[in-house]
Structure 1
Amino acid sequence: MKVLALSSAGREPDFSRVYEHLGGQLDLDLKILDKEAQRDLRGTLRQVDLATYDRVLVDLHFKNIRRQTRFLRRIPGLLIYEEDACQNYLETSRWRGCFSRFYRALPNARIVVTGASVAERLTREGFNVHFIPKGYDPQVIFSEHLERDIELGFIGRTASAAYQERKRLLDRLAAEDALQLLRTPPGEPYRQMLNRIRYFVSADVGLNEYMAKNFEAMACGCVLLAWRQGREEPAIGLEDGVHLLLYSSVEELRGHLVRLRQDPELARTIAENGRHFTERHLSHLRLAEHLMKVLEEPWPSPEPLTPWREFWARLNPF
């Protein structure tokens, strides 16, 4: 199988390992595109014979490609990998409803999203959707057995409008429970900081999926205290009290902390179970294997444009 993959320059998290694994299993052409190239896919791919590829994997920033459906709908074997589709359903997100409108204009595309609940909702809307959880790169993120001198920590940003509920919860914990809110560059500094944290607080309130940082924290040996998502845990295979501890309120989180402080062996066991689970199931190798299965599935034949889709195409400038 011959596949063209389009990915973003400076992508975070780095997907190099995913494409390395895919390239070992199929004939892969990988093109890394900067912002300008993403915004003009027709021009960027002008010299590329797309008909020579069995699949085209688009792993690009939504904001840069969302107005290019007229060009994208003509690509056979189109697979869109999207890590931010949860924003389609967030009231605070500027992209609320935009992903649905984008996918509606691409009837022949298949879509991979990173939240089970998001996948279910998009499937109910009639889209061909697959769920693959986010993962982590084990060559960059791993346990170093450092001294864990930060008891309670979070690494990440909270400034986005989509993270308002996260920010409120983390700010409260920082003020009342000595949570340390941290920022680091990616790579080694990030890994080393994770290895200093004993209990990592995940505050993905209202997002209906697990962010990659949760699995990165587990891979580095932190005990993960995660906001209970409901549908996501069984879809991923995570077990409360085995791989992590779930909470739905600050009071429940504080109860977990009391137990962990009183029972260091419990904390050690959960941290080890979580680390082993991520290593077996959530590495970028596993993510690549799941993508491979989707790419190998039969693809629908291109559909003729209906009058409505012709009208929609005229509204798009590309």
Structure 2
Amino acid sequence: MRVLLVTAAKRLPDLSTLYAELAKQVDLQVMRLDKQQQRNLRKSLHAVDLHSFTRVMLDLPIKNVYQQTRYLSGIEGLLVYDEDACQNYLHNSRWQGQFSRFYKRLPRARILVTGASVAARLQGEGFNVSFAPKGYDPAHQYVQPDARDLTQRDIELGFIGRTASAAYSGRKELLEALASVEPLQMLRTEPGDAYREMLNRIRLFISADVGLDEYMAKNFEAMACGCVLLAWRQGRDEAAIGLREGEHLLLYNSLGELREHIAALRLDPQRAQRIADAGRAFVESHLSYAHLAERMAAMLAEPWPMVPPATGWRGLWQRLNFL
């Protein structure tokens, strides 16, 4: 199966390892486009024989492609990979509802999103949506030999990541509330070695994906680096991913419940070590980029939806809305 992947030249986070793993599963050709090229796909892909590919996979920010549905709707075998679709349902996101409008104008495409709850809501709107969680790159995130024993780590409570965006307002509020009563360190690092080394210093990683309806990649990166993960309960996603509360991680729905978990782990360091080890083993077995590439390849091989072209006034209305 030949697959054309169209992605960003300087994509963040970098999924090069994921796509290298996908290339082991399918005959993959990768096109990396800069921002200007992304905003004119018709021109950027003009010289490409799209009919020679079984599937065309689009991994680009919606802000650069949402006005190009007239062109995209004509591509056979189109898969839209979207790691930001949770913003479709965030009241404080400028993209609330925009993902639904974008997908509606691509009736022959399949959509792959990274949240099980988000996928279910989009399916309820009638879209052909599949779910695959975000994962981690084992070449860059792993537990270091001197950090396997949690008692050797010098940061008890830590979080690494962004809080400034409006989409993360719930995260910011919860982390600041915890920091006011516990010795939480809210940290930022450069990607790569600095990020891994910092994760390997943290015993309890405080995840606060409040209101996002999915697990961000940093949860699995922290688990891969041997942290105990304390995560905001998402509801549907734990079972969809296979995470078991109390075995792979600890879940909470309030600041009080989070503090109870922290206090209990302080009294039972052996339990903390068991959860850290089990969590790391789980992500290594299920959520590395190699495992996600297998899931992605299997989905690409599935039959594609066939939507007959609309005619008459309905067809005219749709074409006008694709403009």
Shorter-chain TM-score bucket reads over 0.9
CA distance in 2, matches of 1:308, 1:178: 60
- Kindly report which structure 2 residues correspond to 1:144-183, keeping only aligned pairs within 5 A, or say none: 144=144, 145-146=146-147, 147-183=152-188
AA aligned to 1:95 is W
Distance 1:193 1:210, change over 3 A: same
Q: Which moved more, 1:11-20 or 1:185-194?
A: 11-20
Given the alignment of the two structures, is residue 204 of structure 1 paired with residue 209 of structure 2, yes or no? yes
Any stretches of 5+ residues in structure 2 without a counterpart?
none
Cα distance in 2, alignment partners of residues 155 and 202 from structure 1:
9
Q: Post-superposition shift, 1:13?
A: 2.0
Structure 2 CA distance for aligned equivalents of residues 36 and 92 of structure 1: 28
Structure 2 distance, partners of 1:308, 1:174, is 56
Following the alignment from structure 1 to structure 2, what is the Cα–Cα distance between the partners of residues 299 and 228? 33
* Alignment correspondent of 2:317: 311
Are 1:299 and 2:299 matched, yes or no?
no
Give the TM-score normalised by the residue count of structure 2. Answer: 0.95
Shift of 1:270: 0.2
Work out whether residues 135 and 289 of structure 2, in 8 Å CA contact, stay in contact via their aligned partners in 1: yes
Q: Match for 1:128: what amino acid?
A: N
Q: Which runs of 5+ in 1 are unaligned?
A: none
- Partner residue in 1 for 2:56: 56
Residue 272 of structure 2 corresponds to 267
SS in 2 for 1:122: helix
Q: Offset at 1:9?
A: 1.8
User: 1:141 — aligned with what?
Assistant: 141
Q: Which residue of 1 aligns with 2:261?
A: 256
Is residue 246 of structure 1 aligned with residue 221 of structure 2? no
Counterpart position of 2:41: 41
Match in the other structure for 1:20:
20
Distance 1:302 1:253 in 2: 48
Cα distance in 2, alignment partners of residues 186 and 310 from structure 1 = 48
Measure the CA separation in 1 of the matches of 2:232 and 2:137: 23
Per the alignment, in what secondary structure is the counterpart of residue 272 of structure 2?
helix
Q: Tell me the CA shift for residue 113 of structure 1.
A: 0.4
Q: Which amino acid aligns with 1:263?
A: D
1:252-280 Cα distance to aligned partner (Å, 9 max, x none) = 11111111111110000000000000000
**How far is the alpha carbon of 1:62 from its aligned partner?**
1.1
Distance 1:25 1:303 in 2: 31
Q: TM-score, normalised to structure 1's length?
A: 0.97
| Runs of 4+ with deviation above 4 angstroms | none
Separation in structure 1 between the aligned mates of residue 295 and residue 42 of structure 2, nearest angstrom: 29
Q: Which residue of 1 aligns with 2:97?
A: 97
Distance 1:305 1:53 in 2: 25
Cα distance change on mapping 1:67 and 1:269 into 2, 3 Å: same
User: Between the two proteins, what is the percent identity of the paired residues?
Assistant: 60
Q: What is the identity, as a one-letter code, of the residue corresponding to 1:291?
A: M
The aligned length equals: 317
What is the alpha-carbon distance in structure 1 between the residues aligned to residue 88 and residue 111 of structure 2?
Answer: 14
Q: Determine the C-alpha separation between the residues in 1 that align with 2:319 and 2:254.
A: 46
The question of 1:191 aligning with 2:196 is answered yes
